[in-house]
Homo-oligomer: A and B are copies of this chain.
Amino acid sequence: MTEQLSSVEERGDVMRAQALAREIFANIANKWALLIINALGENTLRFTELHAAVEGISHKMLTQTLRTLERDGVVNRLVHPTVPPRVDYTLTEAGLSLQTTVNAMCVWTRRHLDTIDEARHHFDAR
């Protein structure tokens, strides 16, 4: 009956979902986000501790990436109204489930360091 109409609506939904998925994927599938998620793990870390834990990240990128992850419900941000201020970061439940796969990626990298180094030399020998 309303087949045409509903198929149009469904296509719209699918496209919106795809756009959303792509955006989310882009948010988490980048170096800093993944390293932050992995650094957090089960821990509760303050801003400064995270800054130390994620080697090479700048103050600004840490804030920025944390905001994105917070917005996507991956990290929790708990502000203590003290002086000096104190902010605790933890992974949400969703974040924790993501962390296991992120960790797998880190393990993969460590596990293949030598193989990759060799592959590179082989590749560069041309």
Interface residue ranges, A against B (CB under 8 Å): 17-18, 20-22, 24-26, 28-31, 34-35, 55-56, 70-73, 94, 97-98, 101-102, 104-106, 108-110, 112-113, 115-120, 122-124
Copies of the polypeptide in the assembly: 2
A36–chain B nearest beta-carbon distance, Å: 12
Which of chain B's residues have a CB closer than 8 A to the CB of A26? 31
Question: Is B73 within 8 A of A113, CB to CB?
Answer: no
Which of chain B's residues have a CB closer than 8 A to the CB of A113? 17, 20-21, 24
Question: Is A106 within 8 A of B25, CB to CB?
Answer: yes
Which of chain B's residues have a CB closer than 8 A to the CB of A70? 123
User: Given A30-B31, A104-B104, A115-B94 in contact, is the A24-B109 Cβ separation under 8 Å?
Assistant: yes
Which of chain B's residues have a CB closer than 8 A to the CB of A55? 18, 22
Q: Which of B71, B102, B119 contacts A73 (CB 8 A)?
A: B119
Which of chain B's residues have a CB closer than 8 A to the CB of A29? 29-31, 34, 105
Q: Which residue of B lies closest to A93 (CB)?
A: B115
Which of chain B's residues have a CB closer than 8 A to the CB of A122? 73
Question: Is B24 within 8 A of A71, CB to CB?
Answer: no
